[in-house]
Amino acid sequence: MRIVIIGQGAFGAKTLEALLDKHETVAAVFTPPDAPGGPIDPLKEVATAKGIPSYQPQGYEDEEVFEQYRKLQPDLTILAFVTSIIPERYFHVPSKGAICYHPSLLPRHRGGSAISWALIMGDTKTGLSIFWPDGGIDTGPVLLQKEVEIGPDDTTGSLYFNHLFPMGIEAILESVEMIKAGNAPRIPQDDSRATYEPLCDDEVAAIDWSAPAQEVYNLIRGCDPQPGAYVDTPEGRIRFYQADLKPQKVKEEPGKILAIDHSGIQVAASGGVITLGKVRPKKGGKMPAAEYADIASLKVGHYLGKGK
């Protein structure tokens, strides 16, 4: 089969390498434009090293871009980590259609921050879907799915890199084999069970210490590594990572610092103590929370988010 990959980043690059290792024919790749002065997209980098044409359109509505794609005469198009809007007509060009990777058990958690929302909403399991895109937002019929348990200490980063990334590459390869064999299913999604959430950005990442401790903890995990759940202080916005939750009765007001030690900053919450392992202040990178507390002169009894 002649395959075209539309994707980007490490996931797109690993998808290309895995397909080439299986001696599949990749006719071309499409990636977002490289930022001026920025690094080359990893998918483009691998394609260039392998002598595979790469295209970097600003978008996919332009007729010239569509003609470039159509002339490649793909048998199958694989969407491997796509953030651009791909018009439906692209999916009708390949003789065997197009498939897309999505890191959730569709129809739950449609949208661009599926892993984050699985954690924020307290799910105990998630997974990935390979589906046939139909022009909607993650709405096409499903080819296959794989599940993974969400551990109590998982973050968006650990779920993706330890599980959903490598599982996704294997799932794409498995899907390609099923398509080649002519036995790839098209299982309609049950729209009555669908959820759709917005991107996990600063609109949803603000911490409310008065919320139940488990909800605060889930928010911090879901925003780790991006964008980082935060509070605003007189010194600027502070983001938190590598959190831990100890459920217990707490008499102190939620948000008050209970202790500062090598493990981090321990904060009172409603129904537990949350330890913040790392901090990223407004200026500078991540650092151990205890180190930041020393720099910012934080003390036991101070309130995170309301000054001192």
Q: What is the pLDDT of residues 66-110, one digit of tens each?
A: 999 999 999 999 999 999 999 999 999 999 999 999 999 999 999
Comparing 30-44, 86-100, 264-278, 293-307, the range with the smallest average pLDDT is: 293-307
pLDDT tier at 308, thresholds 50, 70, 90? very low
Domain with CATH 3.10.25.10 in the chain: 213-295
Integer CA distances (angstroms), 219 to 157, 174, 202, 209, in order: 13, 33, 12, 11
Judged against a pLDDT cut of 80, whether residue 299 lies above it is answered with yes
Query: How much of the chain, in percent, has pLDDT values that exceed 70?
Result: 99
**In which band, very low, low, confident or very high, does the pLDDT at 307 lie, cut at 50, 70 and 90?**
very low
DSSP string, the chain: -EEEEEE-HHHHHHHHHHHHHTT-EEEEEE-PPPPTTSPPPHHHHHHHHTT--EE--S-S-SHHHHHHHHHT--SEEEEES--S---THHHHSSTT-EEEEESS-TTTTBSTTHHHHHHHTT-SEEEEEEE---SSSS-SPEEEEEEEE--TT--HHHHIIIIIHHHHHHHHHHHHHHHHHT----B---GGG--B----STTT-B--TTSBHHHHHHHHHHTTTTT-EEEEETTEEEEEEEEEEEE----SPTTBEEEEETTEEEEEEBTEEEEEEEEE-SSS--EEHHHHHHHTT--TT-BTTS--
| Mean pLDDT for the chain overall | 96
Stretch 265-270: mean pLDDT, rounded?
Answer: 98
Q: What is the pLDDT of residue 306?
A: 64
The pLDDT tens digits of the residues spanning 149-195 come to: 999 999 999 999 999 999 999 999 999 999 999 999 999 999 999 99
CATH classification (class only), 2-193: alpha beta
Class of domain 213-295: alpha beta
